[in-house]
Amino acid sequence: MSVDRRQFVRLAGTAALGLAAAPAAKLIASQEETASSEVMHEASLPTGEPKTAERWAMVIDLKKCAGHEGCTKCIDACHDSHNVPDFGNDKDEIKWLWKESFGHAFHEQDLDYVSDELKHRPTLMLCNHCDNPACVRVCPTGATWKREDGIVMMDWHRCIGCRYCVVACPYGSRSFNYRDPRPFIDEINEEFPTRMRGVVEKCTFCEELLAKGQMPKCVDACEAGALVFGDLEDPNSNVSQLLHEQFAIRRKPALGTQPEVYYLV
Amino acid sequence: MIENALRGDKRYWTWVSALGAVVLVGVYFWFRQFHLGLTITGLSRDVVWGFYIAQFTFLVGVAASAVMVVLPYYLHNYKQFGKLTILGEFLAIAAVIMCMAFIFVDMGQPFRIGNVFLHPSPNSMMFWDTVSVFGYLFLNIIISRVTFRAEKKGVKPPNWIRPIIILSIPWAISIHTVTAFLYSGLAGRPFWLSAVMAPRFLATAFSAGPALLVLIMLVLRKISSFDAGKEPIRKLAIIIMYAMALNVFFLLMEIFTASYSGMPEHIDHFKFLYFGLDGYTTMVPWMWGSAILAVFSLILLFNPKTRNNETFLAWACVAVFASIWIDKGLGMVVTGFTPNPFGTVTPYSPTFPEVMISLAIYAIGALIVTFLYKVALSVRARMGQGYEAAH
Phi first, then psi: what are they for A8, rounded to 5°? -65, -45
Q: Does residue A15 sit in the same domain as residue A104?
A: no
Q: Which of B39, B128, B266 would you mutate first to test chain A, the one with the most A CBs within 10 A?
A: B39
- Check residue A17 and give its pLDDT: 52
Q: What is the pLDDT of residues B128-142, one digit of tens each?
A: 999 999 999 999 999
Q: Which of B93, B85, B72 is nearest to B147 (CA)?
A: B85
Give the closest of A108, A160, A166 to B265, CB-based: A108
Report if residue A51 sits inside a domain: no
What 3-state DSSP class applies to A125? strand
CB A89 within 8 A of CB A194: no
The verdict on a CB contact (< 8 Å) between A134 and B186 is yes
Whether B348 has its CB under 8 Å from any CB of chain A: the answer is no
Sign of the CA dihedral running B142, B143, B144, B147? positive
Is 90 exceeded by the pLDDT of residue A41? no
Query: Quick one: how far is CA A160 from the chain centroid?
Result: 18
The verdict on a CB contact (< 8 Å) between A160 and B127 is no
Whether B134 has its CB under 8 Å from any CB of chain A: the answer is no
In the DSSP assignment, the letter for residue A141 is S
Q: Does residue A10 sit in the same domain as residue A122?
A: no
CB B49 within 8 A of CB B106: yes
End-to-end CA distance of chain A, in Å? Answer: 76
Phi first, then psi: what are they for A123, rounded to 5°? -130, 120
What 3-state DSSP class applies to B94? helix
Q: Does residue A203 sit in the same domain as residue A107?
A: yes
Query: Quick one: how far is CA B87 from the chain centroid?
Result: 15
Report if residue A115 sits inside a domain: yes
Interface of B with A in 270-329 (CB under 8 A): none
> How far are the Cα atoms of A135, A172, B301 from residue A129, in angstroms, in the given order?
10, 13, 52
Task: Share the mean pLDDT of chain B.
Answer: 94
Q: Does residue A163 sit in the same domain as residue A224?
A: yes
CATH number, position A227: 3.30.70.20
- Check residue A46 and give its pLDDT: 52
Whether B123 has its CB under 8 Å from any CB of chain A: the answer is yes
Give the closest of A91, A108, A169 to B44, CB-based: A91
Q: Does residue A110 sit in the same domain as residue A17?
A: no
Outline where DSSP puts E strands in A108-242: 122-125, 144-146, 152-154, 175-176, 200-201, 227-231
In the DSSP assignment, the letter for residue B190 is T
Report if residue A67 sits inside a domain: yes
Q: Does residue A184 sit in the same domain as residue A157?
A: yes
- Domain range enclosing A129: 56-264
Q: Does residue A25 sit in the same domain as residue A82?
A: no
Q: What is the pLDDT of residues B362-384, one digit of tens each?
A: 999 999 999 999 999 988 888 87
- Check residue A109 and give its pLDDT: 87
Is 90 exceeded by the pLDDT of residue B162? yes
CB B205 within 8 A of CB B62: yes
Domain count for chain A:
2
The 10 Å Cβ neighbour count of residue A215 is: 15
- Check residue A111 and give its pLDDT: 87
Residue B136 C-beta-side C-alpha neighbours within 13 Å:
36
Sign of the CA dihedral running A211, A248, A109, A138? positive
Nearest CA in chain A to B40: A178
Q: Does residue A72 sit in the same domain as residue A31?
A: no
- Check residue A6 and give its pLDDT: 53
Report if residue A63 sits inside a domain: yes
Contacts of B336 in chain A (CB under 8 A): 167
How far is Cα B363 from Cα B16, in angstroms, rounded to an integer?
A: 9
- pLDDT band for A10, please (50, 70, 90 cuts): low
Buried b (16+ CB within 10 A) or exposed e, B199-220: bbbbbbbbbbbbbbbbbbbbeb
The verdict on a CB contact (< 8 Å) between A176 and B108 is yes
Mean pLDDT of B112-133: 95
CB B1 within 8 A of CB B152: yes
The verdict on a CB contact (< 8 Å) between A143 and B115 is yes
- Check residue B373 and give its pLDDT: 95
Q: Number of A:B CB contacts under 8 A?
A: 139
Report if residue A50 sits inside a domain: no
Q: What is the pLDDT of residues A119-147, one digit of tens each?
A: 999 999 999 999 999 999 999 999 999 99
Q: Does residue A17 sit in the same domain as residue A61?
A: no
Least confident range from B5-9, B176-180, B222-226, B246-250: namely B5-9
Contacts of B188 in chain A (CB under 8 A): 134, 168-171, 252, 255, 257
The verdict on a CB contact (< 8 Å) between A160 and B109 is yes
Q: Does residue A85 sit in the same domain as residue A124?
A: yes
The verdict on a CB contact (< 8 Å) between A92 and B45 is yes
Whether B341 has its CB under 8 Å from any CB of chain A: the answer is yes
Mean pLDDT of A193-214: 97
- Check residue B41 and give its pLDDT: 97
Sequence-distant (≥ 6) Cβ neighbours of residue B139 within 8 angstroms: B164, B167, B168, B171
Sign of the CA dihedral running B74, B75, B81, B84? negative
Q: Give the pTM.
A: 0.90
Q: Check if the interface score ipTM surpasses 0.90.
A: yes
Residue B255 C-beta-side C-alpha neighbours within 13 Å:
12
**B224 φψ region: left (φ > 0), alpha (ψ -120 to 50), beta (else):** beta
Whether B118 has its CB under 8 Å from any CB of chain A: the answer is yes
How distant is the Cα of A46 from the closest Cα of chain B, in angstroms?
A: 31
Give the closest of A137, A141, A197 to B37, CB-based: A197
Report if residue A144 sits inside a domain: yes
The verdict on a CB contact (< 8 Å) between B126 and A104 is no
Report if residue A84 sits inside a domain: yes
Report if residue A1 sits inside a domain: yes
Helices B352-390 and B51-64 cross at an angle (nearest 10°) of 10
Q: What is the pLDDT of residues A87-114, one digit of tens each?
A: 999 999 999 999 999 999 999 888 889 9
How distant is the Cα of A92 from the closest Cα of chain B, in angstroms?
A: 6
Q: Does residue A7 sit in the same domain as residue A89?
A: no
How distant is the Cα of A106 from the closest Cα of chain B, in angstroms?
A: 8
Q: Which contiguous run of DSSP H or E holds residue A99?
A: strand A98-101
How far is Cα A228 from Cα A212, in angstroms, rounded to an integer?
A: 19
In the DSSP assignment, the letter for residue B308 is T
How far is Cα A105 from Cα A123, in angstroms, rounded to an integer?
A: 7
How distant is the Cα of B14 from the closest Cα of chain A, in angstroms?
A: 37
How far is Cα A129 from Cα B281, in angstroms, rounded to an integer?
A: 35
Q: Does residue A38 sit in the same domain as residue A61?
A: no
The verdict on a CB contact (< 8 Å) between B121 and A141 is yes
The verdict on a CB contact (< 8 Å) between A163 and B108 is yes
Q: Which of B380, B366, B349, B213 is nearest to B282 (CA)?
A: B349
Contacts of A162 in chain B (CB under 8 A): 106-108, 126
* Domains of chain B, each with CATH number or no CATH: 2-382 (1.20.1630.10)
Q: What is the pLDDT of residues B61-95, one digit of tens each?
A: 999 999 999 999 999 999 999 889 999 999 999 99
Q: What is the pLDDT of residues B91-110, one digit of tens each?
A: 999 999 999 999 999 999 99
